Structure 1
Amino acid sequence: MLKTAPPFVRPPRAPYATDPARSRGRLHEEPDSKTRTPFERDRDRIVHSSAFRRLRGKTQVFVAHEGDHYRTRLTHSLEVAQIARSVARVMGLDDDLAETLGIAHDLGHPPFGHTGEDVLDACMEGFQGFDHNAQTLRVLTKLERKYPLFDGLNLTWETLEGVVKHNGPLIRFGATLHDLPVAIQEYNSTHDLELESWPSLEAQVAAHADDVAYNNHDIDDGLRAGLFSLAELREEVPMVDRVLLTVERDHPGVDEFRTSAETVRRLIGVWIDDLMWESGNRITAAKPKSVEDVRAAGKPLIGFSDEMNEHQAVLRRFLMARMYRHWKVNRSRSHAKRIIRQLFDLFIAEPELLPPAWQEGGDGPRGQRTGRRVCDYIAGMTDDFAIEEHRRLFRLDR
């Protein structure tokens, strides 16, 4: 008789989970939804936003037109949200908030992945810089303009806190508010996100779900692209070799594509199991009784074990050498750098070339306004739109 696992039973809500019924609310007061919790409502507003739809045309590593099977920011965000929701549910946390933060975390990324971010930050050196996390806050609180009474999506305090602080407090190690990106400074002056404290456990889970997703799915994309082989991966990353051996034992003779997919699937499970085990130990030791205890803990309560962090470092070194700095990827990165730089310089020199809706507005003095306006326009582009905009402006035959 086929053995089946017992049905999943949702654990009770932990006392240190974020309670939607006790949300600190929104900057602009609105009536509560009759059908959704505040965090479900936040998630739905993000899903229906223009910025979220554009993530389908923004890449992780490859340029969008290089293939339909590689991750984009949209598919990555959905994968992060799924992992965050599952982990939060098992741990008795608010899975709606964890999912919302997974969906929102990459909204501020410009086209062409981290290359686009690096170039745009260099372009903005004289205009207070560029940071994708601060840009996410800017998108959520200012650049999305759909509602008649306010700019942005008017999300809850807990969602905005998690977006900004998911990697930990922003004011620590001698940093002050004035050291932070201007978008965070400006918003915090009207809606204090308590930047010196740790975020909720849901935000911490979402941050580590991001690590789980990109570590393992970059393996999948790198194998699909032929940037490295399964044999090379197992030779240089011992954890992958151990998991791959279990796949070969359980499914001898299966083709390499299925073997690779099953290995990645099991690796995700290994990462998640370690995350929950280590986090459980930290929570047991800290004994938080409320979400405020979590914020005041002085250290993260969600995280990987030291052993897993060592495995992660080995994998990241492998991916850096074999994937992120592969000569084919370098060519795409070089092309992307020129596109972003040339578009930025042209729009700064001739802002009248911007679409009419982008020729007004911005923040700060006149020169700063122009720089930030150009930055917002470019940061919102998809890969293909940036390529096409560059063609329109730099090719005489277009």
Structure 2
Amino acid sequence: MSSDLEPAYAPHDEQRWVQEAPKSSFRTVFERDRARVLHSSALRRLGAKTQVVAPDTDDFVRTRLTHSLEVAQIGRELGRTLGCDPDVVDTACLAHDLGHPPFGHNGESVLNDLSHDIGGFEGNAQTLRLLTRLESKVLTADGGSAGLNLTRASLDASAKYPWLAADAPLIDGRRTSKFGAYVDDLPVFEWLRRNAPTGKSCIEAQVMDLADDISYSVHDVEDAIVAGHVQLKWLANPDQRNRVLGYTQQWYLPAMDTAEIDAALQRLEATNVWVRHADGSRASMAALKDMTSQLIGRFCQSAVGATRAIYGPERLTRYAADVVVPQETAVEIAVMKGLATTFVMTTDHRQPIYQRQQDVLGELVAVLSATGDAHLETMFAADWREANDDGARTRVVIDQIASLTDVSALALHERLVGTERTLL
């Protein structure tokens, strides 16, 4: 591998949207990027935002914050092994969920429906908006906000879907609903993507994406087992097994035959770390933790080996390479996701909760839209007054609501709408 002293990132990669005065040299610009995200209020708020199960339902369950910290640990080591700057990957991993609204993907779907006329809502596009506008640290020459003013490399590494909604690629003949920037944020998006191949994410973003997939595929199953939603021995029951295979196919692998999905599940079951029954004892909890660690290592090592087999031992940064994930590994990761989907996200008792969450967000959008800046936080109220049309004002309302935690969304709803109903 090339020497660590060999520059792998050009001055172009280290540029910031707004030029800043030189700082002391004991930290690199990428270390500063990581610190800015780590100290942001948006990252702290993730501690009260739903990952899969609401944060107030269990002392053990992961939140968006603990998930992001785990993704950063996996991504940092995976990226360093491939030659990426670990702080660039770490920053992207810490930032990857900042734009998610209250109530997880359920909240994201609601806000997307309610903002359809202004370009929709997408958690990744909201992350870019937050990093470059809403989380104030650096101001532009005209007094506007440049957000955290991260370097081009770190912002680009955070761009999981580097395209606007209108430019989203076709998958099986249908345009994907995922995108990474709103039209309103086009200037900074074009700046961070300068000289980048159209529609292609850099390897640091690919590492972040894989670390995210690995983390939640394994950890969501761990959470589900500890919460009592599932025991892996249930998979010996043909009905339960077929449910898992069906949801894995429906949600994650629609073009794949269930026999191939089942083969991946069998490979996982054949490992010597698969915990078929966890009874809450220290011994079973230790075994469960070892299973999560070993599976993370299994998936990471597979990707590193496949990537190195193609690109060799050199440092792999920016657009010099792509992360290679063998299909068998990708299917195993999808099976782990399918397990959590089957036993947590699609259970009947969750459906009334999801509906109530949708009602809360819908009513909040209606009330805040009807009352101008009266109930907006100070910064958002200023944005509302500066907005030049109804669409821009609606975007401010969406920005405000997306910034809320699960708890603060419920509290604001109770204060403004006057309901005593809860999600418990």
Q: TM-score, normalised to structure 1's length?
A: 0.84
Equivalent residue for 1:89?
80
2:355 aligned with 1:328? no
1:161 is aligned to 2:156: yes
Task: State the match for 2:330 in structure 1.
Answer: 309
1:335 shift after superposition: 2.1
Q: Per the alignment, do residues 55 and 20 of structure 1 end up closer, same or farther by CA in structure 2, a change over 3 Å counting? A: farther
State the 1:78 CA deviation. 0.6
SS in 1 for 2:382: coil
Deviation string 1:98-135 (CA, Å, 9 cap, x unpaired) is 11111111111101111110001011112221111111
**Pair 1:388–1:32, CA change in 2 (3 A):** same
Q: Which moved more, 1:66-75 or 1:325-334?
A: 325-334
Contact residue 61 and residue 324 of structure 1 kept, 8 A:
yes
Q: Alignment partner of 1:302: what SS?
A: coil
Aligned counterparts of 2:226 and 2:26: Cα–Cα separation in 1: 42
Indicate the residue corresponding to 2:201 in structure 1.
199
User: Is it true that 1:42 corresponds to 2:65 in the alignment?
Assistant: no
Does the 8 Å CA contact 2:124/2:180 hold for their aligned counterparts?
Answer: no
Among 399, 404, 411, the alignment partner of 1:376 is 399
CA 360–271 in structure 1, closer or farther in 2 if over 3 Å, else same? same
- Report the Cα offset of residue 136 of structure 1: 0.5
C-alpha spacing 1:88/1:352, structure 2 compared with 1 (3 Å) = closer
**In 2, Cα distance between equivalents of 1:201 and 1:224:** 34
Deviations 1:54-98 (A, max 9, x none): 111111111121122111111111111101111122222211111
**Structure 2 residue aligned with 1:268, among 293, 296, 306?**
296
Q: Which moved more, 1:40-49 or 1:343-352?
A: 343-352
| Equivalence map 1:187-336=2 (5 Å) | 187-189=188-190, 191-193=192-194, 194=196, 196=198, 198-232=200-234, 236=241, 237-244=265-272, 255-284=283-312, 291=317, 294=320, 301-336=322-357
User: Is the CA contact (8 Å cut-off) linking 1:162 and 1:203 kept in structure 2?
Assistant: yes
**CA offsets, 1:302-358, max 9 Å, x none?**
032011112223333332222211223333322211111111111112224423513
**Counterpart-to-counterpart distance in 2, 1:28 and 1:234:** 58
Q: Does 1:139 align with 2:152?
A: no
Specify whether residues 67 and 246 from structure 1 end up closer, same or farther in structure 2 by C-alpha distance, changes over 3 A only. closer
Question: Which consecutive segments of 4 or more residues in structure 1 shift more than 6 A?
Answer: 287-290
Gap runs ≥5 in structure 2? 242-264
Equivalent residues of 1:110, 1:382 under 8 A apart: yes
Q: Deviations along 1:134-185, whole A, 9 cap, x unmatched?
A: 1111101111123455511111011111112x3566657478xx99632442
Q: Report the 3-state secondary structure (helix = DSSP H, G, I; strand = E; otherwise coil) of the residue aligned with 1:359.
A: helix
**In structure 2, how many angstroms separate the alpha carbons of the residues matched to 1:51 and 1:179?**
18
1:28 counterpart (18, 28, 32): 18
Partners of 1:111 and 1:375 in 2: CA distance: 11
Could you say if the C-alpha distance between residues 20 and 111 of structure 1 is closer, same or farther in structure 2, counting changes exceeding 3 Å?
farther
- 1:118 & 1:371 partners in 2: Cα distance? 16
Structure 2 contact 275–288 (Cα < 8 Å) conserved = no
- For 2:364 and 2:122, locate their aligned partners in 1 and report how far apart those are by CA, in whole Å: 18
Larger mean CA deviation between 140-149 and 360-369 belongs to 360-369
Give the whole-Å Cα distance in 1 for the aligned partners of 2:5 and 2:274.
35
- Which position in structure 1 is the counterpart of 2:114? 123
Give the structure-2-normalised TM-score.
Answer: 0.79
Cα 1:356/1:329, change in 2 over 3 Å: closer
Does residue 355 of the first structure (1) align with residue 357 of the second (2)? no
Query: What is the rounded CA distance, in whole Å, between the counterparts of 2:356 and 2:212 in structure 1?
Result: 27
Deviation at residue 50 of structure 1 after TM alignment: 1.1
Shift in alpha-carbon separation, 1:11–1:238, aligned structure 2, 3 A: farther
Q: Shift of the alpha carbon at 1:215?
A: 0.4
Alignment partner, residue 6 of structure 1: none
Residues 290, 96 of structure 1: CA spacing in aligned structure 2 closer, same or farther, 3 A cutoff? closer
Residue 48 of structure 1 and its aligned partner are, at CA, apart by: 1.2
- In the alignment, the residues of structure 2 paired with residue 90 and residue 233 of structure 1 have an alpha-carbon distance, to the nearest angstrom, of 35
Residue 14 of structure 2 corresponds to residue 19 of structure 1: no
Of 53, 69, 86 in structure 1, the residue corresponding to residue 44 of structure 2 is 53
Q: Which residue of 2 aligns with 1:389?
A: 412
Cα 1:179–1:326 change in 2 (3 A) is closer
Alpha-carbon spacing, 1:234–1:38, altered in 2? closer, same or farther (3 Å) = farther
Q: Is the 8 A contact 1:73 1:106 kept in 2?
A: yes
**Residues of 1 paired with 2:53 and 2:14: CA distance?**
40
Q: Tell me, what secondary structure is at the counterpart of 2:67?
A: helix
Of 372, 389, 414, 1:366 maps to 389
Q: Distance in 1 between matches of 2:53 and 2:318?
A: 41
Mean Cα displacement is larger for which, 30-39 or 125-134? Answer: 30-39
The aligned counterpart of 1:5 is none
- Correspondence for 1:181: 182
- How far is the alpha carbon of 1:246 from its aligned partner? 6.7
